[in-house]
């Protein structure tokens, strides 16, 4: 390991050396217009003519979270030793935070950004900014940008939306989400470190984005899956800070299929068990002093932690419950209140919000042993067997309600609600999928759009193009593919609405489809926008609202 570190160090030195040499011999005037001087270094960007963008793919935004700073919220970024004649080379990839075995680097708090061609002598108005959090269940993922960069089709869908996209890394799994009283009580450690990384990136944007032509007063946050859950977390954190918070770090929120697993208090039994099990699994349980287990974790080799973190996730996935172990927790400093209590108290923070969900996406998260059996009675048993594992605290009365709202013969009650088609033939897999979808993905999306100030307009969309599984919708806005030319209606309609939301705060203002095509209805009209194989239409939200209200009414048994 020491050997490897040595090599990595050498490699980095080599990079610095190369940067210096090329910068001194090959500094064209065009390049220097992409040299951005910040108070901690000079950062050189690049153009990509093939995609007509300017980009900075590697900018450090916090100190490396290593040594004593492992499991600790991000610390102020360290000065980079550059000069105007030898700037920091920003056009190279950065490492992912530690996750899969043998991959990533703890020194991972970097962000990348890109937008349409821009140089620092630009006189045009500052551009709206979109900060994107990656998905990956809070256990994996990376913000590293390639060419074409993520979300490129959302920028390129029209010339109208001049957006600046920012992709920050954040710590995942044990490195970003280790709960427990030892963490909460230690002055050199923080619960929700991964979410604090995101917040630090938002603070970086407030301080520095104008230097890249971005408008700090016009910031959207965006994400899909755990990236959407991250958006929920930032909204919840800002709202639960109440009037103690100063200037807002963002103004709009968009979440696609936000993954919002149960949120326990950092020192609840469930959280403490995670800490204790982890400590045991890496052999840090040998001593009994109050904080020495934590000191042991901080001193351990990164590979040992990564392997143990992965093993705990795999165990939990096998037991078919909801989470990947590592997830946001409630604490007294950042996530002070659960989402549900903000919804009930109507605490609000963003001025506009847009959320989407996919019809069948819950099925990605429920076990396949729920596939229909031959006998109906055993199907019923299987469903309740699963439900008891997924939500073990439900009371008998709650289960009666679940049976009413999610009946075994879904086609009877669910007419008009496409979701029920998933199990219209008495299918416990689809039925469990819908329960999971509502509790962990769709109701959080619905609830988040209720957290806006002054009754501002918000929007909900349901993506139903088969298979409409988790992440199916990313096809239309995240990656360059043939659909952008073969199916311009769906591309312009869906990616166009998202881009319009970021540019104007309203998905309909820069609408790219014909006037006859349905626009997005306000959530206050109790209708949602649907994306189907045939195009776009609207549908009543009444069924979903009824089910989400039920879950809200029993929220202590959900930990939502």
Q: What length is written for the chain?
A: 560
Could you say which of 142, 313, 484, 530 contacts ligand NAG (CB under 6 A)? 484
Note whether 503 binds ligand NAG by CB under 6 A: yes
Residues in contact with ligand NAG, total (CB under 6 A)?
A: 38
d(CA 51, CA 484): 14
d(CA 56, CA 45): 5
When the beta carbons of 371 and 393 are compared against ligand NAG, the nearer one is 371
Q: Taking CB under 6 A as the rule, which mask of x and - marks residues 303-342 in contact with ligand NAG?
A: ----------------------------------------
Note whether 504 binds ligand NAG by CB under 6 A: yes
Note whether 409 binds ligand NAG by CB under 6 A: yes
d(CA 518, CA 535): 9
Angle between helices 428-436 and 376-390 (to 10 degrees): 20
Note whether 28 binds ligand NAG by CB under 6 A: no
When the beta carbons of 351 and 532 are compared against ligand NAG, the nearer one is 351
Could you say which of 32, 91, 307, 479 contacts ligand NAG (CB under 6 A)? 91
What residue spans of 418-554 are helical by DSSP H? 428-436, 443-448, 483-486, 488-504, 542-553
When the beta carbons of 549 and 556 are compared against ligand NAG, the nearer one is 549
Note whether 22 binds ligand NAG by CB under 6 A: yes
Q: How far is the CB of 356 from ligand NAG (least distance, A)?
A: 22
- Does 225 participate in catalysis according to the annotation? yes
Could you say which of 101, 185, 217, 381 contacts ligand NAG (CB under 6 A)? 217
Note whether 403 binds ligand NAG by CB under 6 A: no
Q: Which residues are CB-contacts of 462 (< 8 A; sequence separation ≥ 6)? A: 356, 357, 358, 359, 418, 528, 529, 530, 531, 539
* 520, two tokens: 């997005």
When the beta carbons of 192 and 220 are compared against ligand NAG, the nearer one is 220
Q: How far is the CB of 228 from ligand NAG (least distance, A)?
A: 22
Question: Which strands form 35-38's sheet, in the order they lie side by side?
Answer: 35-38, 41-44, 88-89
How much of the chain is in helix, strand and coil states, percent to nearest 5? 45, 15, 40
Q: How far is the CB of 486 from ligand NAG (least distance, A)?
A: 12
Q: How far is the CB of 417 from ligand NAG (least distance, A)?
A: 19
CA distances from residue 506 to 288, 315, 326, 499 in whole angstroms, order as listed: 56, 43, 34, 9
Note whether 486 binds ligand NAG by CB under 6 A: no
Give the range of 130-138, 231-239, 451-459, 535-543 binding ligand NAG by CB under 6 A.
451-459
What residue spans of 356-482 are helical by DSSP H? 376-390, 396-405, 410-413, 428-436, 443-448
List beta partners, residue 530: 462, 537
Note whether 426 binds ligand NAG by CB under 6 A: yes
d(CA 537, CA 72): 47
d(CA 22, CA 88): 11
Note whether 78 binds ligand NAG by CB under 6 A: no
Note whether 243 binds ligand NAG by CB under 6 A: yes
Could you say which of 92, 100, 207, 546 contacts ligand NAG (CB under 6 A)? 92
Task: Indicate the helix (H) or strand (E) that contains 181.
Answer: helix 181-185
**Three-class DSSP category at 414:** coil
Could you say which of 75, 203, 272, 291 contacts ligand NAG (CB under 6 A)? 291
d(CA 301, CA 282): 10
Give the range of 289-297, 493-501, 512-520, 530-538 binding ligand NAG by CB under 6 A.
289-297
Give the range of 205-213, 228-236, 278-286, 382-390 binding ligand NAG by CB under 6 A.
278-286
Could you say which of 28, 246, 397, 455 contacts ligand NAG (CB under 6 A)? 455
CA-based R_g, the chain, Å: 24
Give the range of 15-23, 410-418, 437-445, 461-469 binding ligand NAG by CB under 6 A.
15-23
Q: Are 442 and 357 in contact (CB under 8 A)?
A: yes
Could you say which of 63, 80, 147, 295 contacts ligand NAG (CB under 6 A)? 295
Note whether 160 binds ligand NAG by CB under 6 A: no
Buried b (16+ CB within 10 A) or exposed e, 79-104: eeebeeebbbbbbeebbbbbbeeeeb
When the beta carbons of 35 and 361 are compared against ligand NAG, the nearer one is 35
CA distances from residue 36 to 39, 166, 406 in whole angstroms, order as listed: 10, 16, 56
Distance of alpha carbon 426 from the chain centroid? 33
Q: For residue 477, which phi and psi values (nearest 5 degrees)?
A: -135, -10
Q: For residue 547, which phi and psi values (nearest 5 degrees)?
A: -70, -40
Could you say which of 19, 321, 358, 458 contacts ligand NAG (CB under 6 A)? 19
When the beta carbons of 378 and 534 are compared against ligand NAG, the nearer one is 378
d(CA 424, CA 359): 14
Note whether 52 binds ligand NAG by CB under 6 A: yes
Q: Which of 150, 225, 323, 340 is catalytic?
A: 225
d(CA 281, CA 432): 32
Could you say which of 480, 526, 534, 556 contacts ligand NAG (CB under 6 A)? 480
Q: Taking CB under 6 A as the rule, which mask of x and - marks residues 100-129 in contact with ligand NAG?
A: ----------------xx-------x--x-
When the beta carbons of 401 and 426 are compared against ligand NAG, the nearer one is 426
Could you say which of 351, 385, 403, 508 contacts ligand NAG (CB under 6 A)? 351
* 473, two tokens: 């919708």
User: What is the contact surface with ligand NAG in residues (CB under 6 A)?
Assistant: 18-19, 22-23, 51-52, 89, 91-92, 116-117, 125, 128, 148, 156, 217-218, 243, 251, 280, 285-286, 289-291, 295, 351, 375-376, 409, 426, 453-455, 480, 484, 503-504
Catalytic residues: 225
């Amino acid at each position: 390991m020491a050997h490897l570190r040595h090599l990595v160090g050498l490699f980095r030195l080599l990079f610095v050396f190369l940067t210096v040499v090329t910068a001194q011999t090959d500094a064209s005037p065009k390049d220097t217009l992409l040299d951005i001087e910040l108070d901690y270094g000079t950062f050189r960007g690049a153009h990509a003519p093939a995609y007509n963008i300017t980009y900075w793919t590697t900018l450090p935004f916090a100190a490396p979270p290593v040594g004593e700073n492992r499991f600790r919220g991000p610390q102020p970024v360290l000065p980079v030793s550059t000069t105007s004649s030898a700037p920091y080379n920003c056009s190279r990839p950065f490492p992912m935070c530690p996750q899969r075995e043998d991959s990533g680097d703890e020194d991972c708090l970097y962000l990348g950004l890109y937008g349409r061609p821009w140089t620092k002598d630009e006189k045009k108005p500052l551009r709206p900014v979109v900060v994107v959090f990656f998905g990956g269940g809070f256990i994996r993922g990376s913000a590293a940008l390639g060419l074409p960069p993520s979300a490129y089709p959302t920028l390129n869908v029209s010339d109208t939306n001049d957006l600046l996209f920012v992709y920050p890394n954040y710590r995942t799994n044990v490195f970003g989400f280790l709960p427990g009283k030892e963490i909460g009580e230690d002055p050199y450690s923080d619960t929700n470190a991964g979410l604090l990384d995101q917040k630090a990136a938002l603070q970086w944007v407030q301080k520095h984005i104008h230097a890249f032509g971005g408008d700090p007063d016009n910031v959207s946050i965006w994400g899909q899956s755990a990236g959407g859950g991250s958006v929920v977390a930032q909204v919840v954190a800002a709202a639960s800070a109440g009037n103690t918070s100063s200037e807002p770090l963002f103004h709009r929120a968009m979440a696609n299929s936000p993954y919002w697993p149960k949120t326990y208090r950092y020192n609840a039994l469930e959280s403490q068990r995670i800490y204790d099990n982890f400590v045991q699994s890496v052999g840090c349980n040998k001593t009994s002093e109050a904080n020495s287990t934590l000191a042991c974790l901080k001193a351990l080799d990164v590979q040992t932690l990564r392997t143990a973190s992965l093993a705990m996730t795999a165990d939990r996935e096998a037991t078919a419950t909801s989470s990947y172990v590592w997830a946001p927790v409630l604490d007294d400093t950042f996530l002070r209140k659960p989402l549900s209590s903000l919804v009930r108290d109507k605490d609000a923070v963003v001025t506009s919000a847009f959320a989407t969900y996919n019809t069948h996406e819950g099925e990605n998260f429920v076990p396949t042993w729920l596939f229909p059996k031959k006998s109906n009675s055993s199907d019923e048993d299987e469903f309740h067997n699963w439900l008891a594992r997924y939500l073990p605290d439900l009371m008998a009365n709650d289960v009666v309600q679940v049976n009413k709202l999610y009946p075994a013969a879904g086609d009877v009650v669910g007419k008009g609600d496409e979701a029920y088609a998933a199990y219209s033939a008495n299918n416990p897999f689809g039925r469990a999928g819908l329960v999971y979808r509502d509790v962990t993905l769709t109701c959080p999306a619905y609830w988040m759009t209720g957290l806006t100030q002054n009754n501002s307009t918000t929007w909900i969309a349901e993506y139903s193009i088969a298979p409409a599984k988790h992440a199916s919708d990313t096809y239309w806005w995240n990656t360059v593919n043939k659909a952008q030319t073969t199916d311009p209606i769906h591309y312009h309609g869906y990616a166009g609405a998202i881009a319009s939301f970021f540019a104007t705060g309203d998905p309909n203002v820069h609408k790219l489809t014909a006037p006859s095509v349905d626009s997005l209805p306000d959530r206050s009209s109790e209708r949602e926008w649907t994306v189907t194989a045939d195009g776009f239409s609207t549908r009543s939200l009444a069924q979903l609202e009824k089910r989400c209200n039920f879950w809200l009414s029993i929220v202590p048994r959900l930990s939502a």
